Structure formats: structure tokens, C-alpha cells
Structure 1
């Protein structure tokens, strides 16, 4: 049953400089999973949450390398004890959007709201995927988590030495060890301020009723179909005043946007369009203001030099190519009776499957050349990446066949292999319905046929596949992880044993891997690279993942959009844009 959520909205815009007639139209290629980021790490949910919930700090829009700037904080934190104590002063006069949960009272943002929001991440009942970001980092926090695991109840009124409000507008973090990376964690969407009254009022429906202090608020929501945001009428606004990095693109943005009161966009209409061809047609007919080029659209839009062709340029369309700080991969469920387990024969099976995958063909056919091979768990652009690291797993179907033969996976009369005990062997691979997913499935079938392994493809949607993976209820599925903050721990935590049921969708537990991870977390970020390399080697030995690629996103932007730039970490830029309604209407 499809339901529509319509939020109560004040009429007109009060403080915000946003203009109601300026409407931005964008698309998500997969559905969100609600907007309670404590309970999901859905990429598209995070895109929306980022403009509703405000963190203490956020990223400068143009700076590269990335740097933090204050959001609700008055300034960047004071730092004591060599990066072990961080103290933030919050701006007064910031208010949550009006909501029934506040019973008609105007509700100001205070330091305790951030304390409460972090406690929600700690609460074991929430199974927060981002728990690993602060696991064993806040003084006294894990003791409260342990108590909750024993009693079945998390004490939200208990004091935690590691995160506390010193007064109404001051919050202090005390870490178990120095960590200069910690403020970057606080810029992630899950660490936005949530009011306790709202959580207790909406309970299990909180994900459909996000209430924050950010530039936008949810006005209409049809799950898995439409999301409509309007400018928060009580938002204080800011002035577009970013400095160019010296590129021609940045120089043009500064020229267009400097001095403008922001946000300018009064409404953001988000459509869920999973089919690539439909999304490309929507962009061509100007129903979308910007989008990434789909695989099938790349040959139609780019020339042999990967520049926009003449026809696109004549329409005034612009191109922004952005190499993502991400890795993509195929996951095995390590608890699955067919592909999971740590016996030599199961490791051999996963290794053979990994060696059967023709990554070069995958990049050529599916990515149209717009990607590079991912060599290690930590991608380029993230602290801990070693550009000289090379994976020990390569495309080698001949060796894969020999490996399967050696471990007793013999072929039957039908040409497909069976388990060493003689039982039929069939891989069940979760996938989605879009054209690129169909091509991906066809490539997998071709590769697996070459080593004699039968595969069935279970077509569903991204949100349901994500739920199944989080619950360890699948066999194989493909995934991607974009940097939430520029530190390798953000990627390596995805295979840490304690994160099963959270971010560890492979349900992988390895004493060796966990040991490397724990040792790395005891070090300063700039000393962790050798351990990230060891973790990558352990993954190559156990094969819970098949590492694939890092994509180059080709953003195409309609001529009426001003201020657009894809950020290396931050995924939502709507509050930094302007649009010319007269051009859009034409």
C-alpha cells in the first residue's frame, strides 16, 4: 500500500531568502529508506537528511583538499589534550521547524539535542550503522552500551563523560585517545541534531517525519516514488562566499554566486527513476535540472575525448566529471550455507568466482570506460589509500577452473559444477530491474558459465535488497560505498566483525581482520595505512568481497542552473545553487 505524507507547512517564506518560484528537479536512481539516519545508511536517504538535519560542522563547498567549516557551531572546536577533547559553542537562536511534537511551542536547538542524537546512535536497539564511527571513542559511552545489552534498556538520562552539555549552548567530547579525525565524523549526516520530543512522538514512524533545523523541510513524501522539499521558512540563511581553488569551473561559480543570500531554491522535487533510459529522457526533455550520465547515454553525449559533443554544447548543457571517493564491490554473505564459511573448499569457491569476473570488460561495457579498477579497500582521495597497492586477485578463468577441480567441484553432464558432496550448486544473486542491472547480470552469467557455475538472479529493488543484506538474508549482491568522511576507517569498518547487522553486510568475521582493524584504530590516522593494507590482503585471502571499481560520475547540468559543483564527500548541493526561472520555464 502506497502512502503519502504531507507535512504541515507555514504559508510563505519568513527568514529564508529562498524564492518559492525557483524549483529544482532532480532524480534518484534508487529509492530512499526513510530519513531516520540512525537506522539506515541508505545513500539517497542521506542526501535528503543532509539538508534537513544540521551537524555542528560541515564541508566547505569548494575547498580541495576538503576542509570543515562551522554550521550550527559558532566556530570550529577548541581542541585540548592533543586532539582528545573537543569543545563546541552552538549559535543561539536556531530553531527546529514547527511540528506537532512541540505542542505549539517554538523549540530552540541546544547542546543537549546533539548529546541525545549521539545516544540514539549508541542505543543497541537502533542497530545504528554509524555506531562504528564512535565505537570505543567516547569516554564512558561503551559502558552504557554494555549496560543496555545486559538490561535490554538504554538509559537516555544517564550522563556520559565523553559527550556532555557543559551549558545550554556548549557541548564537549572527550575521547578515549587523541584523534584529529574526529570532527570529520561529526560532519556525517547521522550526527545531525534531532529533538527528543520528535523521536518520542513519532516513534517507529520517525523516518517519515524528519524534523530538523536545516535549509529544507519535507513537505510531501510518497515512499519509493516522490519526495518534495520546501525551504525551511525559519532558516537563518547564509551568504554564498566561497573561495575558488583556481580552476576555471570554480572561478565561474565565484563570479556567478558570490554575495548571494542562500538558499535561493524554494522547492526541490525528487523523483525516483530507476530505469536509466527514462532518466536520460527526463533530462533531455528538461524535466530534470541535472543528473549523472547513464551508461547508455555516455556514447550519445560525450565525444572520443570524453567531452560534451557539439549537439549537447549547443543546448547550453555543461559537463562536470568527478572521480568518486568510493569503491564498488560484490558481496558474499559469509553466513550463507552455499557461499559462506571459512573452510578451504568455501574459500576456494569464492576465490574462483572472484577470478572469473572480467573487470576490464565490466568497465568497458557497463561503465563505458568511465571508471578505474579498485585495488584496495580504501579508495583514492581518502586518507589511508596507497596508490602503489595492487590487488592479488585478478581475472583468470583458467586458474579458477583448476581451483574448482582441485577442491572437488566437479561438472555434471549438464556442464555445471556440483558441490564436492554431489549436491547441485546454484548461486542466487540479488539484483535490481534497471537496464544496467540487466547488463550486469548478463556479464556475471557469462563469467560464471566460463567456470561452470549456474546462477539465478533475484530481481528486487535497492531498498529491499539493502534490508536483506543488513539482515544477512541473501547470498550475493553488489554494493558501493562513498566516503562519509575522508578517512580509511569509514571503509574498513564495513568488514569489521562487530558491525554485523550494521554496516558489515557480508556478515564477515575474521579474527585476523578484526585484529588489524583494532590496531589501526589505536593509531593516529596518518599512521594507519599499513594496517589498511593488511586488511585489504586479508579480504583477498578470505574473499567476502570482490572489489570492482571507482566510478567517474559525469554530471550534466542544464543552462539555467548556477553554482553547481560535485563535492568529493558531501553529496547534496541544493542549498548552494540558484536557478533562473525564466530560462527553466522556456
Structure 2
């Protein structure tokens, strides 16, 4: 079946008429058509952590800062702020000054008047992350920054059942109409990166939230370049240019030696942003329909599904049949790690006793990450030595750990040593106390997930460990994972900012139920986390991160698999696209002939 799909795709690639490449645009309207493999959860930044939803809200709401589109490595620039924040010498006080004249989109709550973005909007929006009424999966960014007074405000809300948004706290307050201040109880030198992501620091209007109780995920009203024009859940999202969006033009300045960036800047300089008037987003979870839709010219941009990477870019070079059509290839090493995690509160796989640690390490040794890269990612990946990916601070390309090994013999010896043996002769190992067990791994109903199931079963059959799979939609799995109800889950984590702490957050004890879905808790790790947090980037901090990663591998709450290489394709009538490792709403920079 898979071979037939590949042949069908190859045949289509060579026979599609050129007319399918550039569909007619509506007069005066530029429309981009893109697709995502995963579905969206909604449009309230406070409640989101999945890649699809965070990408979309990045076009609907504004953070004070943004990433310079053409800068490599990543660099910050002002967005709704007039400049980068004022930062105290000890990195414990940050002051943002906003640009006057930024407007929210229209909503009845504004009474027919223009509604300007002001400092109080950011104060309110950031406080929402602390409100227990809607537990935020990304609150850890602010908890770990030590914002003064907000933990007490949250604790009081838990007691009273009401969060007091009007209570002034020293860690977050408006200084005047256009300035707001953050104060922390510790040095946080990398905190400004958080304020470049609308999914972490996007401004909402209090009037809208209060006028639409319980509907913030469905009624997004922001100051961003787009607004939601149509939405069919898990199927189709249409974004249209926000008529209230401030005047902004393409003024990006690439490095002098950056030939690609210089060409993009020369073509687009001075054009009004966003470049496209309309963005049609299709949710196509299966790889083959998504790939074929691009080949038929129904999509302007596609992330090449790994199953078709050898058809799109054999040996990393654009396939001749695509090059002849003018299709463009854009590779990017992603700051991302695919992994499988173990719930540390599970009675079978969890805990830190020697026999439970031995089980997790044995499962990791049985797993063949290179085989997953070869068969599923089609070679577009690098075996992970820990959860830390390339492209973020603290990444050590020389790090070599047991997590990158495939050694079934050592896995079996480890299980034998700690009592996970086959006592009844049925071919499957029992627990050290003699009771039977099986691993239960949760996954999704996709072709990739089905292939992973086959690899996992083969790997664990080889060491005598029984595994079964439970299939559900991704949104169901993420809710259950945060609640601590999944024994194992095949998933991943992609950096929202270029700070390696974002991956340490996966293991920090106080983040349990947020980024730390396994609910891993190890005091020695937490001490290293807290020590590196206040240090500037450099060798001292890198050494602490390396020690933390080795501790995580020794305990193995995650089985890291690989870091992917993404391949993006754009049709010949699309210009300006350049993948950014951290800015998610790539379409705002894309022009259409």
C-alpha cells in the first residue's frame, strides 16, 4: 500500500499540467493556501501549547517584541514596543515602552470606538496566565522567572475562587499609558525572548474576554496582522487581513554576507505587511493527501512529509521534476526533539527505585532511533543524545550518551539483573515481584504513528517486553498527558525561543502538568536548573546544562529519538518565504504573484 502511494505521487509529479501551479487570484486579493498536519485547539494564547494553535495565534495577537525575520542566528526587534526593553544590570527589572496607535480589531465590547493597545492590556493579559480558572500549560515561563507577587495572587485566587485582576503586584504593573514593568526575585537574563512570542505574551482586550465568558478560545480579537474569517474545527481556518492593523512595511536588514536574505529584502523592501490578504489553512493529518494537494497546485506551501522526502529532495537536493516546475526548496534544521515519555507517577514505569530506572533504560536501549530516522523520517534527522536539540543555547554537539545507543543485548542484561524476567515461560517478562505487566503507549491515528507502533513492537518483542497501543486524537492525548493519565506517549517538543532552558523545562519538577508531562521530579536536577537560570550564556552555564542532561538520561523519563530536518516547498509564484526556527506564523512574510 505504501509503495503504491509513492508510485502514485511520483506519477502525478511528472504529469501535472503547468496551469495547476498558479491558480487565479481574486482581483486585488493575494491568497495563500497552506496546510498543517496537526489540528488546532483554539485561539486563546493562555490555554495553548501545541504548534498549530500557537502558529495561528501568532498572527492574531501581538507581543511587544518579535524576531527579526532575516537575522540568523535569531535576534530580537521591537514589535508593539518602540524599542527593546530597558533591563537593569542585575536582570531583575524590565521596562517595556509601547508605540502609540496600535489598535485592536473591532468588537461590540468596544462600543463602536477605536480601541488602542495600552500597557494595562499587557498587564491584564499576562495575569491571565496566573488565573487558576483556566490552567495554562505555559505558565512555567513566568513561574520560573520569579515575578514578584504573582504566586501569592494565584494562591489567594485558589482560596477565594476569584482572581483579582485589579490587585497591583510589584512583579507586573503599568507605569503609565504606554509603559509596563516586570520585576523578578532572581536574575532572568533571557526573559525578553518570552516577549517575542504572541503565544506567550500576546495582548488581549479585557472587555472582549469579559463580554464573551468561556469563549476566549473561539473569539480571538487582537492587534495582529490577521483576524479569523472562517473556522471549521480540525478542518479549515481562514485568516484575513486585519483592517485595523497598523501601517508597517518590510524593512528587514539581513547580514551583508547573506545572499538569500539580501535577495528577499531587495524584492520586498517597502511593501506593506502582511504581504498576503488572505490565508487559507487546511488541516490535513495524513501525509499522502497533503503531499498530493501540493503537487496538484492546491497548496502554495507544504512541509514535506518524511514519507515523500526522497521524492521531493533526494540526497538533500530538489528533485528535477519539481525544479522544472519552478518549485523552491527550503531546508531547516529544527530545534525540535521527538521522544517517548514515561509517566513518573505510573506504578509500573514510574518512580526512581533501581528496578524502575532499569526498566526505562532498557526500553531506551531497545529502541532503534536510527531505524526510525531511516524508515519514517527518510534519513532527515539526527539521533538524539538527550531531549536538548540543536539551535538553542546549551546544545552540545559533542555530547554522547546512552540515549543514543541501540543495544538489545545490554537491554536484556539490565532487565535480568533487576528481576524483570520471564518466570512462567510464556516469552514475556514479569515484574520483579512476579506479577505480569505490559507497557501501554498512546498514539494518534496517522500513518506515521502506525509506522512507529510497528517499530516499537518489534523493538520490545526482541527483549521480551509486551507493549500495546491506544489510539486517540492528539488533542485528547495532550489533555490526558497534562492530567498524568498516560503511561507512555510518542510526541515531541519544539523550541518556542532560542533558549535551551525551554527543554530543561521538560524535566523541572515544579513544571509538572505543564511542560513536564512525565511529572519527573529529581532534586539534583532541579538544583542544576535553578543554578543555570540566573547565569548569562557561556561556558559556565553550558557545563551546568550538560550535567542536567546527563542526569536526565540516567533516569530516562524520556526516550529521546531524533532531531528532524524539515524540508519546505513553495510554488513558483510564492516569494519571500524563509523558514525561521522560532517565529511560527511564516505566512505573514510570503508574497504571491
Q: Does TM, normalized by the shorter one, top 0.5?
A: yes
Which of 376, 393, 405 pairs up with 1:366?
A: 376
Tell me the residue number matched to 1:47: 55
1:93-108 alignment to 2 at 5 Å? 93-108=101-116
CA shift digits 1:311-358 (9 cap, x unpaired):
110011010110011222111111122211222221111111111001
| Cα root mean square deviation, aligned | 1.7
1:519/1:116 CA distance change after superposition, 3 Å: same
CA contact (8 A) 2:70 2:254 kept: yes
In structure 2, how many angstroms separate the alpha carbons of the residues matched to 1:63 and 1:522?
26
**Deviation, structure 1 residue 139:** 2.5
Q: Distance in 2 between matches of 1:335 and 1:110?
A: 44
1:200 counterpart = 2:210: yes
Q: TM-score, normalised by structure 2?
A: 0.91
- 2:561 is matched with 548
Contact 1:215–1:237 (Cα < 8 Å) also in 2: no
CA distance in 2, matches of 1:147, 1:537: 38
Determine whether 1:139 maps to 2:139. no
Q: Is the 8 A contact 1:92 1:169 kept in 2?
A: yes
Aligned-pair CA distance for 1:256 = 2.1
- The superposition leaves residues 241-265 of structure 1 with CA deviations (integer Å, 9 ceiling, x where unpaired) of 2123333322331232122122121
Secondary structure of 1:172's counterpart equals: strand
Question: Alignment length, in residue pairs?
Answer: 562
2:188–2:534 CA contact under 8 A, matched in 1: no
Q: Tell me whether 188-197 or 54-63 shows the greater mean CA deviation.
A: 188-197
Instruction: Mark the CA change 1:529 to 1:139 in structure 2 (over 3 Å): closer, same or farther.
Output: same
Which residue of the partner structure matches residue 24 of structure 1? 32
Of 126, 131, 136, 2:134 maps to: 126
What secondary structure, in the 3-state scheme, does the structure 2 residue paired with 1:173 have? strand
Q: Which contiguous aligned blocks of 4+ residues in structure 1 show a shift greater than 4 angstroms? A: none
Contact kept? 1:27, 1:270, Cα under 8 Å? yes
| TM-score, normalised relative to structure 1 | 0.92
Deviations 1:377-432 (A, max 9, x none): 33221112222221233211001111112222222433122223333221111111
> After superposition, what is the alpha-carbon deviation per residue over 1:522-564, rounded to whole angstroms, capped at 9, x for unaligned?
3334342222222212211211101111111011111111100
Counterparts in 2 of 1:143 and 1:524: CA distance versus 1, 3 Å: farther
Q: Which one is further off, 54-63 or 34-43?
A: 34-43
- Native 8 Å contact 2:386 2:553 kept in 1: no
Deviation readout 1:483-541 (Å, 9 max, x if unpaired) = 11111111111211111121111121222222221222233343422222222122112
Partner of 1:76: 84
* Cα distance change on mapping 1:280 and 1:266 into 2, 3 Å: same
Deviation at residue 48 of structure 1 after TM alignment: 0.3
Q: State how far apart, in whole Å, the 1-side matches of 2:248 and 2:290 are.
A: 32
Give the equivalent residue in structure 2 for 1:559. Answer: 572
The gaps in structure 1 that reach 5 residues or longer are: 1-17, 581-586
Residue 322 of structure 1 pairs with residue 323 of structure 2: no
Match of 1:3 in 2: none
Structure 2 alignment gaps of length 5 or more: 1-25
Offset from partner CA, 1:260-287 (integer Å, 9 cap, x none): 1221211111111110011101110111
1:459 corresponds in structure 2 to 471
Q: For residue 549 of structure 2, what is the aligned residue in structure 1?
A: 536
**Structure 2 equivalent of residue 284 of structure 1:** 295
Match of 1:500 in 2: 512
SS in 1 for 2:211: helix
2:462 is the alignment partner of 1:450: yes
1:572 paired residue number: 585
Matched residue, 1:377: 387
Match of 1:399 among 405, 410, 413: 410
Report if the CA contact (8 A) 1:487-1:525 is conserved: no
Q: For 1:234-383, list aligned pairs within 5 A.
A: 234-245=244-255, 246-303=257-314, 305-383=315-393
